Structure 1
Amino acid sequence: MTIPEASTVVHARAPGKINVFLKVGALQDDGYHELATAFQAVSLYEDVWASPADDFSVEFSGSIDTSGLVTDGSNLAIKAARALARKAGYRGGVRLKISKNVPIAGGMGGGSADAAATLLACDALWGTEASKDELLTIAAKLGADVPFAVTGGTAIGTGRGDQLSPALAKGQFHWVLAVAEFGMSTPGVYAELDRHRERHAQDIFPAAHQPSVDANVLQALRAGDPAMLAESMYNDLQAPALHLAPGLGRVLELGEENGALAGIISGSGPTVAFLVSDSDSALELQVALSALRVHAVRASGPVHGARLIHA
């Protein structure tokens, strides 16, 4: 394959996600867990601009504080660009500018969205012409949530969350997201889950090795019924997240006291996602939470996965 000289700026965008259902299997010998999750991509986006460079670099801006983000080779967007360059035999680099709107370390896959958008942007910039399957293979090696950020929509994730199958979802679901002023370590929350299970081994059923998504969740998504989905949302990581950050319990209470159908900690937290019945209810809840000094933003889903905006 002949790769043309890069000569422009490419803009790509990818969404954050909510785990409307997440079951975590038993701890395995390799230190990982099998997952069964229902993802929904929502209308909070990460924007990536890629331009030609001799090396790899990234800088951040956006509606949230990005001062704590790493910009060296450990950054997931840099890893994504390097992985595609290796796959394609591309010898140049890329300068990435990322505008962030998804909460950082918030359980909504913001870093994964950065990586997904970077893959599309670099593919277009370098003319590598990777197929979607090739991009998904690279994405899966970068992290469990990255393939979903590529595909978007609504999907069931199994394995470590990276083995995806599309799920039918009718209409739009409306969400209000309570954004915390702090982040949470995903490995830390999983470790707390393992400790939680050990502490309560006499009181809870052992975790399945291969969990599955509740049929009621799939039915609610197919029906486009927020009330039905509210009754079946579930997250195994919620209890350990609440143990590590007890204040999130009060946030859940405030949302449900002010009109939410249900609230759930998204992924490993600390973002709390409140499902509401329609867009008017979302606005009302956002205003109510803001009055209570909870930083709240509105979003809807499902939305498309990573896509090019300008190439």
Structure 2
Amino acid sequence: MSEALATERVHARAPGKLNLFFEVGAVQDDGYHDVASAYQAVSLFEEVWAEPSPEFTVSVSGTVDVAGVPADDRNLALRAARLVAKELGHEGGVHLEIVKRVPVAGGMGGGSADAAAALVACDALWGGELGSAHLQRLGAKLGADVPFALMGGTAIGTGRGDRLSPALAQGRFDWVVVPFEGGLSTPEVYRHLDALREGPDIAPPLRGPSVDTAVLHALRAGDPVALAQCVRNDLQSAALSLQPELRETLELGESAGALAGMVSGSGPTVAFLTLGSEAALDLQVSLTAAGYNALHVHGPVPGARVVG
């Protein structure tokens, strides 16, 4: 990459995600859980611009509430930029401008998408040409969802969710997502799930977590009706316990025509699978009329990439 190009402002975009299937194993000695997930990247994107700067700084705005997003070294995108700089031996800094559209602390991987976009943008800004496999390894240091935000499409994640295998998904799946103000803390949701599992009604799988083969068949067939029969999220019980009003939203969406509804990831965003784009628009109208902020998205979409 030329010196001239290396001084330009770089724009990158990365998608939010839905967990179509999420099985959580028992808590390990280190406090973490093995999981098995079917991820799908959806058309709700985070935008990141990277430009040369003597320091590492970040500014955050967006169409969602960004009040809880840190603008210091706790910011995942800024940490991603520092990783790329260290890897390339870059001695300067970078200013990141982030425009968020994925709900904050909403279970759709918005912070991970920011980090993925920052990895791609900084690599391009500094002429690194690190390549996707190298960026995936860096992303895994930042969090389990970052490698998938880099990959995009549809994938199966195992281990902590960062061991990824692409999954074949035919056609397009249409979703309506309903974000809620006041996100849920992912560690808190996991802790609450562990507490619930101490009771008689909920228990972790006796085997290691795995994705139901019915999910893979439905994705491969491009069949939303079949997929609706097997979507699952082990974190949903904990999210509903912590935020009981989500149950009413799920019931309303399913009564208004959704094929299936579920809490996305650790929540509190709720996602509804529909028969197609027309059904999604009808459901969006119904939920909006009921006072919800309902968004129509589709997947799968590509992962983090430079725009323009």
For the criterion TM > 0.5, the same-fold answer is yes
- Counterpart contact for 1:3–1:128, Cα < 8 Å: no
The alignment of Structure 1 onto Structure 2 pairs a total of residues equal to 307
Q: 1 CA distance for matches of 2:199 and 2:59? A: 43
Distance 1:206-1:39 versus aligned 2 partners, 3 A rule: closer
Q: CA deviation at 1:67?
A: 2.4
Q: Deviations over 1:142-180 (max 9, x none)?
A: 000000000000000001000000000000000000111
Alignment partner, residue 300 of structure 1: 298
Alignment partner, residue 21 of structure 1: 21
Look up the equivalent residue of 2:89 and give its one-letter code.
G
Q: Deviations over 1:55-103 (max 9, x none)?
A: 1111112211212211000100000000111111111110000111000
Q: 1 CA distance for matches of 2:142 and 2:68? A: 21
Distance 1:205-1:185 versus aligned 2 partners, 3 A rule: closer
- Counterpart contact for 1:3–1:90, Cα < 8 Å: no
1:168 pairs with 2:168: yes
Alignment partner, residue 110 of structure 1: 110
Q: 2 CA distance for matches of 1:48 and 1:121? A: 7
SS in 2 for 1:193: helix
Shifted more, 2-11 versus 231-240: the winner is 2-11
Look up the equivalent residue of 1:249 and give its one-letter code.
R
Alignment partner, residue 70 of structure 1: 70
- Counterpart contact for 2:105–2:184, Cα < 8 Å: yes
Q: 2 CA distance for matches of 1:41 and 1:268? A: 16
Shifted more, 184-193 versus 63-72: the winner is 63-72
Distance 1:98-1:199 versus aligned 2 partners, 3 A rule: same
Q: CA deviation at 1:129?
A: 1.5
SS in 1 for 2:141: helix
Alignment partner, residue 156 of structure 1: 156
1:26-175 paired onto structure 2 within 5 Å = 26-175=26-175
SS in 2 for 1:189: helix
SS in 2 for 1:198: coil
| Pairing partner for 2:284 from 281, 286, 293 | 286
Alignment partner, residue 237 of structure 1: 235
Look up the equivalent residue of 1:157 and give its one-letter code.
G
Q: Deviations over 1:112-137 (max 9, x none)?
A: 00000000000000111112111000
Q: 1 CA distance for matches of 2:76 and 2:47? A: 14
1:191-202 paired onto structure 2 within 5 Å = 191-200=191-200
Distance 1:161-1:7 versus aligned 2 partners, 3 A rule: same
Q: 2 CA distance for matches of 1:182 and 1:206? A: 28
Q: 1 CA distance for matches of 2:2 and 2:277? A: 46
- Counterpart contact for 2:256–2:286, Cα < 8 Å: yes
Q: 1 CA distance for matches of 2:204 and 2:53? A: 52
Look up the equivalent residue of 2:298 and give its one-letter code.
S
> RMSD of the TM alignment (CA)?
1.3
Look up the equivalent residue of 1:59 and give its one-letter code.
S
1:263 pairs with 2:261: yes
SS in 2 for 1:142: coil
Q: 2 CA distance for matches of 1:304 and 1:131? A: 16
Q: 2 CA distance for matches of 1:289 and 1:103? A: 17
Q: 2 CA distance for matches of 1:268 and 1:138? A: 24
- Counterpart contact for 1:26–1:209, Cα < 8 Å: no
Alignment partner, residue 190 of structure 2: 190
Q: 1 CA distance for matches of 2:247 and 2:241? A: 9
Look up the equivalent residue of 1:216 and give its one-letter code.
A
Shifted more, 123-132 versus 59-68: the winner is 59-68
Shifted more, 85-94 versus 163-172: the winner is 85-94
Unaligned residue ranges in structure 2 (runs of 5+): none
Q: 1 CA distance for matches of 2:204 and 2:98? A: 42
Output the TM-score relative to the length of structure 1: 0.96
SS in 2 for 1:21: strand
- Counterpart contact for 1:34–1:209, Cα < 8 Å: no
